[in-house]
Amino acid sequence: ELGLKKFFGNKKMRQIKTLDVQNYVRFLEKHKTQKDKFMSPKSIRNYVYVLSSMIEYAMKVGYMERKQNPCRYVELPKKIQKEIEVYTADEAKEVLQILAAEDDIMLEFAVNLAIGCGLRRSEIAAIKISDFDFQKGLLNISRAMVYGKGIDIEKETKTKSGKRTIVIPAGVLEAVRKVQKYKMKCRTKHPEKYHESDYLYVDEFGRNLHVSTTTNRWLKWRQKHPEIKKISFHALRHTYCSLMLTYGIDPRTLADLMGHSTPIISLNTYSHSYMETKQTYVNSLNDALYTSAK
């Protein structure tokens, strides 16, 4: 309804000018979606990105003359920076304690890797036992599970910065050992049907669990525990980052642990937590310079 065809009709790609693209942006800003809401700035940017990519490809293959992409100088709506909801250290600790007392081993494993290591769902689903160095307490992230053609497919991490080595809290290693014991128990229970693999995020027959399973299990678990603050599963990764900043980690190291290409991404996303850290440092400076003088 609001796509490129609707606005540009049969207009040739090489005839599209910057003003045309700008008018398309205004067109998208004024129209409502099926849910009777105005399109978000992020969605509008995605629409323009698709058009820009098409034009770039058309220039590359010679369909149109190589010149300036008309999308380049278009004024796009500014992104709305939403405040990210996260758990405090006490709230996160309560979540982990409740999970440890229950018997959903895989959910406990996934939540520990998200809160304790800052992993994404796709990275958790692709974790293998060989990725862990138990002696040194390290975890190597080099792959992710991506949904495609009706199944989850293993791929390398989205960016070079996504490949990283994480220092693991001892508590997370305990959750990993639980999974190892669970796999051994399931192997004994289903000797003929069990599917052998190095993957850890599996069902009772050793088959890989879908990435979406993580979100579904988390939502069901939250419904069982109304006393727990409702945040998304991805927000557990945000919790990790927020707590690390609060504890005083430097932005460059945090970016490496999170798999961000630059510290700017971390600081822009978690500016509130970083402000608390800066305030702590300034208070220490104030005590050193001015408190004694009084």
pLDDT tens, position by position, 116-132: 999 999 999 999 999 99
What confidence category does residue 195 fall into, taking pLDDT thresholds of 50, 70 and 90? very high
Task: Determine the pLDDT at residue 290.
Answer: 73
pLDDT at 213 over 50: yes
What is the mean pLDDT of the segment spanning 22-35? Answer: 84
Average pLDDT, whole number, for the chain?
85
pLDDT at 57 over 70: yes
Task: Determine the pLDDT at residue 158.
Answer: 64
Task: Read off the DSSP letter of residue 84.
Answer: P
pLDDT at 83 over 50: yes
Task: Determine the pLDDT at residue 152.
Answer: 78
Task: Determine the pLDDT at residue 151.
Answer: 77
Beta bridge partners of 138: 133, 167
Residue 191: CA count within 13 A, CB half-sphere: 1
Task: Determine the pLDDT at residue 264.
Answer: 56
What confidence category does residue 294 fall into, taking pLDDT thresholds of 50, 70 and 90? very low
Residue with tokens 């800003």: 29
Order the strands of the 164-167 sheet from edge to edge: 132-133, 138-141, 164-167
% of the chain beyond a pLDDT of 70 = 85
Per-residue buried b or exposed e for 169-207, using 16+ beta carbons within 10 Å of the residue's own CB: eeebbebbebbeebbeebbeeeeeebeeeebbbbebebe
pTM of the predicted model as reported, rounded to 2 decimal places: 0.71
Task: Determine the pLDDT at residue 4.
Answer: 81
Task: Determine the pLDDT at residue 183.
Answer: 96
Between these two residues, 14 and 174, which has the higher pLDDT value? Answer: 174
pLDDT at 10 over 90: no
